[in-house]
Structure 1
């Protein structure tokens, strides 16, 4: 396990997780949002981040509906530390059809609780637009649903604490939200409700990595970095094994093998594909935090 700073029961600034000996580790409950400092001021030094989570009736943002959304505005300083909670918001939405049994079990939501409920789109949009960026753990999922539900926020960039951090390189052996919290000496009493997952994500973002940066700071730095997506398209069957070895992934929507990398490495990948598989078409797309999690 990593020896890292974490948030204690009565501490939102970070303290060393209690350890009895090398064989026992004590996990501390994450701090509920009402235990964090509340700030009405918008500090000049760091961005305001809206931490967002949605629960949905399915996985397809084109056909499935958001049934629960929660968000909290957090103030950061210029070192990426969370200095306080500005505000929070919550909404429920009746999808107009029964929830699948698995979603009921996962979220604890019921058809009766959702009946007749609707998210105030204008209010939710205005709240999120107070932020400089949106953050979620697994932002591709949340961003897809939020952009359809709230078209007024499509100009905002997204930060992802799941994919915008090299967790393996930082010494972690998994990337699930609850697992990461445990490796930081914390635990979340509940999960898979929008409000609980927002609280968990904020607590994770406040913890410190081995390089001395907070998770929030590391995610912001990486999210702001422009990268290049390299897509290998066309007659690619003979190249699949080599592309896998080079860490390419298959995009089922685009029907291409792709990798996201630096501009310098993208030049190298382009040359390598042209040299070894000249029949393959290479497409390069600049990636920023405005389109990375689309």
Structure 2
């Protein structure tokens, strides 16, 4: 008679798997991705010197922060030191919300969130405000998207400085082909189950905690960028034929569905403000148009208030 089929397969323990992975990597022929399990933390020196941040992510019914609705909100508190090193990650706030309309099928396909999952759920703005109260900064991966939704939920978000882990770290300068969270995770050697808010938050924190080429963490770079004021320069009534030059220089078009004037604009660093105004006068208008830049800090950055 043939041997009976085995009822189970022996599973190698983690040490064996890691040894196999190390051997493959040492060959130079393989690059491996490990499943994300927990954030890598820097040892805490004096805990009284740490500052609190909150990493936030939303899953929504669409991309319009003025009319679409939150389906899921996750906020993960974290502590960091003066050098921008991730020192602690605390228990998250995760909540579902039933929108006023059925969830679009494409959103369910992307997020896995169904109408049945959110039925009867609502996010309490008072609980949200209390949760973020200790934080000195809110971080999101595409803060220009998440901040609009968050501020519609709770006025408390308007009182916090915000930072964007997608746009305020020079990922291109670090050699990254994309600033997508999944791509950055792959560069760091791990993968995670994306498109659920808490998972995205934890993966984002792990990425921020990793050092960049200069030895400083991505979080340190992010905080430095967030603290620095920028100047919103709006090229009001610029000649239409100059649009390609403006676009090539990094100006963006503020279009029909956005707050503020329909015009090309750029957010310039303090050191670049005067040079940018000179460029516009000499190369775009041919005269001094008398533009008045608006100073922007982390407290209004990524919100509609940058136009007010």
> TM-score w.r.t. structure 2 length?
0.83
Which deviates more from structure 2 when the two are superposed, residues 178-187 or residues 282-291?
282-291
The residue number in structure 2 matching 1:4 is none
Name the one with the larger strand percent: 1
Cα deviations by residue, 1:119-140 (Å, 9 ceiling, x for unpaired)? 1221121001121110011111
1:217 to 215, 220, 228: 220
The alignment partner of 1:70 has SS state of: strand
* Preserved CA contact (<8 Å) 1:43 1:75: no
Task: Name the structure 2 match of 1:289.
Answer: 298
> For 1:245 and 1:111, how far apart are their aligned partners in 2?
44
**Displacement after TM superposition at 1:152 (Å):** 2.0
Aligned equivalent of 2:132, options 121, 128, 133: 128
1:170 aligns with 2:178: no
Name the structure 1 match of 2:273.
266
| Residue 36 of structure 2 corresponds to residue 30 of structure 1 | yes
Structure 2 gaps of 5+ residues are 1-13, 16-20, 304-308
User: Pick from 104, 112, 117: which aligns with 2:116?
Assistant: 112
1:43 Cα offset (Å): 2.9
Determine the structure 2 residue equivalent to 1:257: 264
Provide the secondary structure at the position in 1 that maps to 2:47. Answer: coil
Higher Rg of the two aligned structures: 2
Kindly indicate whether the alpha-carbon contact (under 8 Å) linking 1:232 and 1:283 is maintained by their aligned counterparts in 2.
no
Paired residues of 1:80 and 1:216 also in contact (CA < 8 A): yes
Query: Which residue of the partner structure matches residue 183 of structure 2?
Result: 179
- The superposition leaves residues 27-52 of structure 1 with CA deviations (integer Å, 9 ceiling, x where unpaired) of 1222346x979x9xx93223211010
If each structure's helix is expressed as a fraction of its own residues, which one has the higher value?
A: 2
Asked if the contact 2:65/2:149 (under 8 Å) is kept, the reply is yes
Once structures 1 and 2 are overlaid, which stretch shifts more, 273-282 or 236-245? Answer: 273-282
Q: Which residue of 1 aligns with 2:147?
A: 143
1:71–1:88 contact (8 Å) kept in structure 2: yes
Secondary structure of 1:197 counterpart:
helix
Counterpart CA distance in 1 for 2:247 and 2:168 is 21
| Offset at residue 260 of structure 1 (A) | 1.6
CA contact (8 A) 1:68 1:194 kept: yes
CA distance in 2, matches of 1:233, 1:21: 58
For 2:112 and 2:118, the matched residues in 1 are separated by 11
2:233 is matched with: 230
Cα root mean square deviation, aligned: 2.4
Aligned length: 277
Please list every run of 5 or more consecutive structure 1 residues that lacks an aligned counterpart in the other structure: 1-8, 11-16
Query: Per the alignment, do residues 185 and 285 of structure 1 end up closer, same or farther by CA in structure 2, a change over 3 Å counting?
Result: same
| CA distance 1:274–1:178, change in 2 (3 Å) | same
Secondary structure of the 1:175 match is coil
Local SS of the residue matching 1:213? coil
Q: CA deviation at 1:178?
A: 0.5
Following the alignment from structure 1 to structure 2, what is the Cα–Cα distance between the partners of residues 91 and 202? Answer: 19
Could you give the per-residue CA deviations for residues 177-206 of structure 1, whole angstroms, max 9, x where no partner exists?
Answer: 010111121211x11111111111111111
Q: Secondary structure at the match of 2:291?
A: strand
Following the alignment from structure 2 to structure 1, what is the Cα–Cα distance between the partners of residues 167 and 49? Answer: 25
Moved more, 243-252 or 175-184: 243-252
Partners of 2:32 and 2:56 lie apart in 1 by 28
